[in-house]
């Protein structure tokens, strides 16, 4: 998933949320109008609410496009916190400074009947004082000011202090900014995780390619050594061995570049390799391969089994004594009904001066094959061996698919 797609998903979330916020007043007024037949739909009320929401939307846009990237993408915490505090302070000042100028709009109707402040004595004066005002409440103005409103009792702008409405609005703004920061951080972390996964996958591919490139020269070097030995034994067969070598090189150059190859091609490759190797040993070597259905429908990593076969020829075949190499492969399903492949290579074992260099111990090829198995299958494979006095067996269990 690319970063542009992450950005589109984030933008879609914001559009849906703000769309629901702005449509809520319309739906609320529509329901109220439908329940009261005598009340008409008043768009002025909706516009008044939208004007209030517009301040929050403006603050959100500033935070989303200018401030949040400072923290999420640039890690400039001090600058981000400073500017956000300024934004919240400006919002709070705006909320306090935009209260209605006419305090009379917020006074009860019975207190708007005269131009005086309400008195605790209202409702407790004797009847003879009804209609009279104490001298201190009289409005003594010069004649030239008659007909004008008294500034003493005119509605005034309230002081710049937090009211309950201002406090709630500021808290809502802070929560909105935190939610915006959380959403942006979530998408940033998810994008980072995907980039990390892509880098790990590319690193895995590069390591696998390195192992294959290291394996191919090692394998070809041994093959050329065998052909060189065959030239001394039988020059005519050495010509045929060059043809077999060309088939092997074709597979190594063109097929091993794929991530997976069919088991059929892998078997053909092993057959060509074994045919080339058997030319050196003649009839003293017995070689057999058993693969159900010739490996049809099975795909495996290329050059996965050749190192085992190579070690079987190197450590299990003798020029003086009869030897054998038997490869048995079968498919089965485990207890979780997952299909797996069991590959077994069994070869004869002959006493050698140096018995420590057995297939389980050495070689660049075996080291590489273990590393490849770790990279490809992780812990979902089994590689083991069984050894008797005259046989050696390698067992590989891998998942299919």
Which tokens in the block code for residue 167? 């406090």
Alpha helices in 234-305 (DSSP H): 235-250, 263-278
Angle at 143 between CA 140 and CA 144, to 5 degrees: 120
What are the DSSP E strand ranges found in 252-322? Answer: 261-262, 285-290, 299-300
What are the φ and ψ backbone dihedral angles of 157, each rounded to 5 degrees?
-70, 135
Element (H, E) at 341: strand 339-348
Residues 6+ apart with CB under 8 A from 162: 92, 96, 170
- Residue 289 · residue 267 · CB < 8 Å: yes
What are the φ and ψ backbone dihedral angles of 357, each rounded to 5 degrees?
-90, 60
Q: Which domains does the chain have, with CATH numbers?
A: 3-194 (no CATH), 234-399 (3.30.565.10)
Distance, CA of 376 to CA of 164 (rounded, Å): 63
Per-residue pLDDT 10s for the chain (401 aa) are 445 777 888 889 999 999 999 999 888 888 888 887 767 788 888 898 898 899 999 999 999 999 998 888 888 889 999 999 999 999 988 888 775 544 334 444 444 444 443 444 444 444 444 444 555 444 455 554 444 444 444 445 455 556 787 888 889 999 999 999 999 988 888 888 888 887 777 766 666 666 556 555 666 776 787 778 777 777 777 778 888 888 888 887 777 777 788 888 888 888 888 887 777 676 778 888 888 776 778 888 888 888 888 888 888 888 788 889 999 998 888 888 889 999 999 999 887 655 444 444 445 566 777 888 888 888 899 999 998 888 999 999 999 86
Given its phi and psi angles, is residue 294 left (phi above 0), alpha (psi -120 to 50 degrees) or beta?
A: left
Distance, CA of 254 to CA of 269 (rounded, Å): 12
Distance, CA of 51 to CA of 166 (rounded, Å): 16
Distance, CA of 100 to CA of 103 (rounded, Å): 7
Report yes or no on whether pTM surpasses 0.95.
Answer: no
Alpha-carbon separation of residue 341 from 139, 153, 310, 378 (angstroms): 105, 95, 20, 16
């Amino acid at each position: 998933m690319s970063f542009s797609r992450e950005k589109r998903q984030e933008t879609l979330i914001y559009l849906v949320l703000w769309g629901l916020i702005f449509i809520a007043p319309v739906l609320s007024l529509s329901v109220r109008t439908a329940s009261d037949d005598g009340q008409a739909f008043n768009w002025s009320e909706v516009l008044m609410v939208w004007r209030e929401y517009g301040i929050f939307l403006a603050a959100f846009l500033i935070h989303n496009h200018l401030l949040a990237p400072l923290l999420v993408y640039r890690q400039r915490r001090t600058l981000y916190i400073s500017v956000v505090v300024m934004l919240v302070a400006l919002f709070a000042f705006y909320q306090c400074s935009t209260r209605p100028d006419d305090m009379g709009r917020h006074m009860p109707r019975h207190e708007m009947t005269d131009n005086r402040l309400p008195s605790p004595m209202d409702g407790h004066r004797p009847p003879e004082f009804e209609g009279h005002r104490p001298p201190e409440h009289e409005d003594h103005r010069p004649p030239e000011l008659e007909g004008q409103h008294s500034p003493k009792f005119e509605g005034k702008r309230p002081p710049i202090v937090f009211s309950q409405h201002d406090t709630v609005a500021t808290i809502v703004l802070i929560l909105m900014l935190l939610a915006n920061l959380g959403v942006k951080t979530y998408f940033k972390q998810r994008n980072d995780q995907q980039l990390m996964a892509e880098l790990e996958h590319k690193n895995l591919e590069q390591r696998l390619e390195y192992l294959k490139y290291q394996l191919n020269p090692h394998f070809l070097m041994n093959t050329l050594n065998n052909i060189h030995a065959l030239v001394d034994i039988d020059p005519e067969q050495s010509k045929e061995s060059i043809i077999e070598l060309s088939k092997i090189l074709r597979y190594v150059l063109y097929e091993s570049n794929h991530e997976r190859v069919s088991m059929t091609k892998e078997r053909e490759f092993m057959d060509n390799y074994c045919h080339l190797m058997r030319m050196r040993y003649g009839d003293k070597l017995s070689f057999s391969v058993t693969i159900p259905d010739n490996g049809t429908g099975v795909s495996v990593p290329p050059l996965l089994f050749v190192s085992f076969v190579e070690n079987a020829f190197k450590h299990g075949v003798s020029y003086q004594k009869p030897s054998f190499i038997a490869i048995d492969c079968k498919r089965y399903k485990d207890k979780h009904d997952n299909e797996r492949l069991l590959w077994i290579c069994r070869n004869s074992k002959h006493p050698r001066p140096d018995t420590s260099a057995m297939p389980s111990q050495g070689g660049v090829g075996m080291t590489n094959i273990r590393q490849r198995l770790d990279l490809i299958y992780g812990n979902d494979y089994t590689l083991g061996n069984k050894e008797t006095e005259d046989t050696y067996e390698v067992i590989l269990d891998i998942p299919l698919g």
